[in-house]
Amino acid sequence: MASLKEKIGYGFGDMSSSMFWKIFSYYLPIFYADIFGLSLGATGMLMLVTRIWDTVSDPMMGAIADRTNTRWGKYRPYLLWIAAPFAIAGCLLFTTPSWGESGKLIWAYATYILMMTVYTGINVPYGSMLGVMTDDSEEKTVFSSYRMFFAYAGSFIALGCWEPLVNMLSGKGADKILNAQVGWQHAMFVIASLCFCMFIICFLMTREHIKSAPSASIWKDLGSLVRNKPWWLLTAAALCTNLFNTLRGSTAAFYFKYLIGEQANINLGFTEFLFFAGVFLSIGEVCNMIGVACAVPFSNIMGGKKPAFISSSIALIVLSIAFFYVPTASNIGYIWILVLQILTSFFTGVVSPLVWSMYADVADYSQAENGSSSTGLIFSSGSMAQKFGGAIAGSAVMWILAAFGLVSNAPIQSDSAILGMKLTMSYFPAGVAAIMLLILIFYPLNKQKMKEIDGKLRVTRIMEN
């Protein structure tokens, strides 16, 4: 049984990752388009092309981590080694050089690829730790819940503070764009410093307790992975979860800037406040945290992780479709937008820990079937699905908005552009959730199957004192 200290310490790792990830996913598109100075089409292509490298780097990092042996374990030392490069890469990503269009494009590609490579270098080993911190399938869900609760807490802090922080740290000159560039860069300096500290805390508070079966050959590991049906299905579902979240999140900044308006106020009766993208997103993070806290009991009530995941997918389809029909120019419409965000975020919060706990189950299934868990390689696919799903969604948002005629920094947008924003917040995510539902129906590792696998592995695993 792992200690509470370890569960809390493990949570700090994804608190750090998620602060960066949510800012990249939700604000980087509008940063590139409205602050950095790239076109919508160029931004979409950038986000898609750079992910080609991720399809190689994630499995590569997983294989490297599986073969790492230090006094701190296989995966944990990477938290110490890569914390500083992680923070530095984030600062470079939000730095705008005083170059021409071609030079800026090269800088954007170079810093984006660097950031995603460093993210892989620390996040794949971090995720893989879940497979070696406990041998109990249910406790893995508890660990995963701590992880995602802290992740959403970090996201709440980052998203709630980001726009005020940018405004506070912006330059004071006559050039508004230059002022904004300074603000975005300096705001990332603050966030990056926090993220560095949290990865170090995670390293100090956690331990690896399980010695997983050694991987004799990377080709054998890859071969067993390709034959692993649960891995294929779960990775496809994980990609859909991130596609769903990023479609909505990346559109939110555009939706509030061009559709709701930057000076909209929402009156809840007992209080009134400015209703901007940061508020919408940060409230969503709080509700994600509530969903994470409810993931274990919800899973128990529904009879396991799979039925809980399926039920959540159905709820996301219904809620997303409803979002399309909400009015966007009245207080009652703002209230309904907030209600639907609360409910949607609750169910995405339930799903998040289930995905990572199910990856740990897939690693156990692999060890039971093939004699080698390939934990790092399997968890790297989760990171790859996260990044690839985010990339596809981020690119799709830019291309969809461009196709519907959105014009960057234009004070008035066309009816077509408004329709594009509404669809990308509603029917398009609903379609992704429907695909996710179909995939999960065929996922074979139910509660009974995992009990059989856990019993088999307890005989062969070696536990460290």
Note whether residue 459 is domain-resident. Answer: no
CATH label of the domain that carries residue 256: 1.20.1250.20
Parent domain of 306: 9-211+223-454
Pick from 167, 73, 180, 178: nearest CA to 129? 73
- Report whether 62 contacts 380 (CB < 8 A): yes
In a domain, 1, yes or no: no
Q: Is residue 217 part of a domain?
A: no
Tokens representing 154 are 């970090």
The tens place of each residue's pLDDT in the chain, 465 residues long, gives: 678 999 999 999 999 999 988 898 788 888 998 899 988 888 888 877 877 777 678 888 888 988 888 999 999 999 999 999 999 999 999 999 999 889 999 999 999 999 989 999 999 899 889 888 987 877 888 898 899 889 889 988 998 899 899 999 998 888 888 999 999 999 999 999 999 999 999 999 999 988 765 555 666 766 777 778 888 899 899 889 989 998 998 899 899 999 998 788 898 888 888 888 888 999 998 998 899 889 989 999 998 899 999 999 999 999 999 999 999 889 999 999 999 999 999 999 999 889 888 888 888 887 777 666 566 777 777 677 777 777 778 788 889 999 999 988 888 899 999 999 999 999 999 999 999 999 999 999 888 888 887 777 776 654 443
Torsions phi, psi for 287 (to 5 deg):
-70, -30
Is the residue at 4 inside a domain? Answer: no
| Integer Rg of the chain from CA | 22
Residue 25 lies in a domain: yes
C-beta neighbour count of 162 within 10 angstroms = 24
- Using alpha carbons only, give the angle 154, 289, 257 rounded to the nearest 5 degrees: 65
Residue 202 lies in a domain: yes
DSSP-derived secondary structure for 246-280: HHHHHHHHHHIIIII-TT-EEE-SS-EEE--HHHH
Q: Is residue 317 part of a domain?
A: yes
Count of structural domains, the chain: 1
Handedness of CA 312, 290, 348, 367 (dihedral sign): negative
Within a domain: 463: no
